[in-house]
Chain A
Amino acid sequence: MAAPIEQLWFLWDPFVLYVILVLLAPDIFYLVSWLIAPRRPSRVKKTAFESGQAPIRSALGSFPVEYFPYVIIYVAYAVIAILIFVSLVAVAEAGVTPSLLLLLTLATIASFYASSQLKEIVGRRG
C-alpha cells in the first residue's frame, strides 16, 4: 500500500471522516446519472421554463417584492436574537436573576402590545 491507513489522520477522526463521506455522497448520484441518463440537448430543452412559452425577458432584472419591509425588520431583529442567544451563555453560568425576569416581562409585554397594534401586514397593496 502506498499510504498506510495509520498515517492518514483524517481517517481516524469521526467528524472529518463524516465530512469526507458527505462530500462523496452526491457524487455517487451524479456518477450513476452520468452513466445511465441520456444526453440529448436541444435548444427548446435549454430555455428557461415559463409554462412552455418562449421566455419573455431575462429573469435577473429588478421586480417589485411585496412585504419588503419585513426583510429590513429582520436585519434589525436578527442582531437582537443573536445577542439573546449569546448572552444565554452568561445566564447559564450565573443563573436567572430578578433583573433578567423583569427584562423578559418587559420584552413579552412589549411584543404582545406591538403585535396587537400591527393588525395589518405592511404590504404594497395596503
Chain B
Amino acid sequence: MIEQLAQSIVSAPEPIRTLLSWIFSEAFIKAAIFPGALFSTILGMFAVWYERKLLARVMLRVGPMHVGKVSGILQLIADAVKFLAKEPITPSSAIRPLFWVMPSAALLLSLLLFAFLPFGAGWIIYPSEIGLLLFFAVIAVSPIPILLAAYASGSKYPFIGLTRMALQLFGYEIPLFLALAGVVLMAGSFNLQEIVEAQARAPFVLPQFIGFVVFFTAALAETERVPFDIPTAEGEIVFGWQTEYSGAHFVVFQLAMYEKTLALCVLGSLLYLGGWHGPPLPFVPETISAPFWVVVKSLIVFTLMVLIRGAYPRLSIDRVLDIGWRYLIPLALLNLLITGAIVYFLGTLG
C-alpha cells in the first residue's frame, strides 16, 4: 500500500520518484528503520536510560531526572554529546591502526546480530534456514575485536582485562552452545522463525527451565554484566580492556556492548519466552503486535539482568570459572538429556 502511495506521486520528476520508491521499499524499511539500524540504535539508547533509572530505583535513588521533560529521558543524548566533545587520546604505546579500527569492528559485529533476529513473521533482515547457527557464529567471533583492542592499547590494565575476559569467555561459550542445543533439539530446526512457531502452545521456558537459567547466566557472562564484570571491573582494574579508550572510541565500544546484550535478550525471548506469541491486542494488526510482544519480552529479560546487577556483588575469577565449568556445563547437559527424553517420549510440544 505504501509503495502504491509512492508510485502515485506521478507529478514528481523521475529521480525523486525512484528515490521515494527506494525509501518505501522493503529493503530500506527493514535495513534502516525496523528492525535495522534506527530501531537497534534507539533500543540501545533506551536500554541505557532504562538501566540507569531502574538501577537507581533498586538502590532507592531517583536516577537521571534533569535533562528532558519526563524523568531525564534525554540524559543519554546529553551523555553522548559530552563524550563526543572529549578529546580521543591514543597512547603512544598503542598499535595505532588496530586501536582505532577495533571499536567500529565491535559495533559492526554487535549490530550484525540483529540481522538474524526475527521480530515477527516477516520482520527479519536476513531470513535463513540456519539463522541460529549464523547468530552463534557472529557471537563466537565478537570477542576478537575486544581482545585485539586490549592488545593494541599497549598498556597493563587492558592486558589484565584481556586475560580475564579470555578466561571468562572460554568458560561460558560452551554452556551457551549446549543450552541452545536443547532448543534446537525440541524445535527440530535452526531457523529462528520455525523455533518461535514451535512454541505456539507452550514457551520453551516451561520444559527447559534449566536451559533458560544456563542460557541467561552464560549471556550475562558473555556480555560482562555485573556479577561477571571482572574484565572491566572499574574499582580494581580501572575499566579493564577499555582503560585507554576515551571520547568517541569509548562511546562506540559502550554502544557495541549494549547492542550485544540486547541482541542476546531478544534471542532469549525468541528461544525461551515464545517470541511473538502473546495475547492479541485490540485493534492492532498482527504485523505490529508481533514485534511489540518480542520487544516487551526482550525488555523483561533485560529487566532481569538489571535487577541482578542491582542485587549481586562482583564474582572473583575463580568463582567465575567454577560456575562456568563445574555447574553450568553439567546442568546444560542435564537439560539436553531431559529435553531429549521429552522429545522421545512425548514428541515435540509444538
Q: A residues within 8 Å of B by Cβ?
A: 1, 4-6, 11-15, 17-19, 21-23, 25-27, 29-30, 32-33, 36-41, 45-51, 55, 58-60, 63, 65-67, 70-71, 73-74, 77-78, 81-82, 84-85, 88-89, 91-92, 95-98, 100-101, 104-105, 107-108, 111-112, 114-115, 118, 121, 123
Contacts and interface: CB of A to CB of B under 8 A. Distances in A.
A111 B333 CA distance: 8
Nearest to A30: B248
B108 A100 contact: no
A93 B325 CA distance: 30
A78 to B, nearest CB: 7
A37 B344 CA distance: 62
Contacts of B244: 48-49
A70 B171 contact: yes
Interface string B168-211: 00110110011011001100111000000000000000000000
Contact of A6 (B18, B36, B92, B166): B18
A67 B318 contact: yes
A6 B88 CA distance: 40
B171 A85 contact: no
B216 interface: no
11 contacts: A5-B18, A18-B37, A25-B107, A29-B84, A29-B252, A37-B86, A37-B247, A48-B93, A59-B93, A59-B159, A112-B334
Nearest to A92: B188
Nearest to A75: B170
Interface in B62-80: none
Interface string B26-44: 1110111000110001000
Given A78-B174, A101-B344, A96 B185 contact: yes
Contact of A85 (B177, B238, B248, B327): B177
A33 B247 contact: yes
- Majority secondary structure, B binding face: helix
B169 to A, nearest CB: 9
A50 B333 CA distance: 43
Nearest to A35: B84
> Which of B30, B126, B327, B337 is packed against the most chain A CB atoms within 10 Å?
B337
Contacts of B88: 33, 37
Contacts of A30: 248, 252
Given A22-B107, A29-B251, A71-B167, A105 B337 contact: yes
Given A12-B27, A71-B167, A26 B107 contact: yes
Contact of B340 (A48, A63, A101, A121): A101
CB-CB nearest 3 A-B residue pairs? A33-B248, A48-B155, A17-B31
Interface in B203-244: 238, 243-244
A60 B154 contact: yes
A37 B84 contact: yes
A21 B133 contact: no
A47 B177 contact: no
A40 B87 contact: yes
A74 B168 CA distance: 11
Interface string B125-159: 11000000100100000000000000101111111
Given A14-B26, A49-B238, A71 B115 contact: no
B89 A45 contact: yes
Given A29-B252, A49-B155, 15 more contacts: A4-B15, A5-B22, A12-B27, A27-B104, A33-B248, A40-B87, A45-B87, A46-B90, A46-B91, A46-B92, A47-B93, A96-B185, A104-B340, A105-B337, A108-B334
